Amino acid sequence: MAAERLVVVGGDAAGMAAASQARRLKGPTELAITAFERGHFTSYSACGIPYWVGGRVPERDALIARTPEEHRARDIDLRTRTEVVELDLAGQRVRARDLGSGAESWTDYDKLVLATGARPVRPRLPGIGAHGVHGVQTLDDGQRLMDTLERTSGRRAVVVGAGYIGVEMAEALVGRGFEVTVLHRGEQPMATLDPDMGALVHAAMNGMGIRTVAGAEVTKILTDEEGRASAVATAAGDEYPADVVVLGIGVEPRTSLARAAGLPLGESGGLLTDLSMRVRGHENIWSGGDCVEVLDLVAGRNRHIPLGTHANKHGQVIGSGVGGGYATFPGVVGTAVSKVCELEIARTGLREKDALAAGLRFVSATIESTTTAGYYPGAAKMTVKMLAERRTGRLLGVQIVGGAGSAKRVDIAAVALTAGMTVDQVVSLDLGYAPPFSPVWDPIQVAARKAVSAVRAADA
């Protein structure tokens, strides 16, 4: 019997995790796998780009988990620098263009995986395409930025956007000796936090010498006579000199192929799948990673949350399904961690505005504690904000800003959220304690105790 044909579009986390898992389950005589990647690299860690740019990871190739050659050695026909430009669902084939030669050809499939990731938002502003203006979505983007950084003798960098990619890139550029200004539209950096927690990030960044400008609506990138970016202009009439500009204004699902083919998309433009990551209504098409919406288990609705941790799990689930096994991805609770220089930032669950939008009545509790016993050398300050539902006391969300050792504590809250625990139950958790690791009451439990009191007071 002829081998089934699997076509994968997108050669990074979700796509190659799916292809690799399918290959583990089925050998080449049963399943022929062709994967298309329009860039040069496969299975790389985009998450590591800020640390390579900042010099903490010395080699670009350390970010590559598996090269195209390594995939080919596992019987995956990997075609790099080849872009899929059309999906023909009725004919079960994809049209691909070799980006070197421009030649196009059709490839037939029995099963299709769409893992095209996300597209960085690039507002249509004068000068946005100038030399020296960079996104950092793919490893190819990262390489282009590194080439600019190595060429420029100037030392002024402007980062547009203060989400986690913006703040991580600010740290990276500081690490390379740049004077960094972060321009962002919001009230505070890190809009994934409530503004009161974002204010702590703002203060800390300014303390690190990173200038952050709130309410800054970028209108134009000014260029010099050679067409290189020289400054960023804002609606307030201010100009921020720049030898390099990094864009971190967010991403949107890269689903233009899926849209053209009539596949189902959600409000965000992300593909809609069932729990086994099958595209809704299409038995032989799967999708995962940054191009899909995920179920937010706390808010009870679909959202676009582009994170590598989801993409890898999606790939695993897809590969199992494609390979004849069974796996599902139940959804997320919205956990994310990042850092800027010494400051760690974490969140899980709902912010105040998410809880309001979901129609939930809640209380919040904010506490200050330390990452280790207060007397232990190196103890760092840590602020925890916790949201709990009124009446039931159900945990709704946690945000953390603090020194080294703070961020990953959010995982306790992520587990509690997944289990649907109340803040009372969080107080009773048997967490580990010794002075080098935490105060005798873990900061998460200190916040939970305060939240318990707030729930009781609100309903007294």
Cβ nearer to ligand FAD, comparing 182 with 452: 182
Active-site pick, 47, 208, 295, 341: 47
How many CB atoms are located within 10 Å of the residue 69 CB?
A: 9
Nearer to ligand FAD, 201 or 231 (CB): 201
- Which residues form the interface with ligand FAD (CB under 6 A)? 9-15, 36-39, 46-47, 49-50, 83-84, 115-118, 136-138, 165, 254, 257, 289-290, 306-309, 311
Locate 253 and state its tokens: 């699902």
- Greatest Cα-to-Cα distance within the chain, rounded to the nearest angstrom: 73
Least distance CB 251 / ligand FAD (angstroms): 8
- In order, the DSSP letters of 110-179 are SEEEE---EEE-----TTTTSBTEE--SSHHHHHHHHHHHHH----EEEEE--SHHHHHHHHHHHHTT-E
β-pair type (285-287, 111-114): parallel
- Taking the complex as a whole, the smallest distance from the CB of residue 14 to ligand FAD amounts, in Å, to 4
180: helix, strand or coil: strand
Q: Which is nearer to ligand FAD, 52 or 240 (CB)?
A: 52
d(CA 144, CA 151): 11
In angstroms, give the least distance from the CB of 53 to ligand FAD.
9
In angstroms, what is the minimal distance from the CB of 140 to ligand FAD? 7
Q: Which residue has the tokens 């995956």?
A: 76
3-state secondary structure of 446: helix
Of 99 and 208, CB closest to ligand FAD = 99
Instruction: Find out whether 316 and 327 touch, Cβ atoms under 8 Å.
Output: yes
Collapsing DSSP to helix, strand or coil, 289 comes out as helix
Asked about 47 being catalytic, the answer comes back as yes
The nearest distance, CB 199 to ligand FAD, in angstroms, is 23
Q: In terms of CB distance, is 338 or 369 closer to ligand FAD? A: 338
State whether the Cα torsion 406-412-417-418 is positive or negative.
positive
Catalytic residues: 47
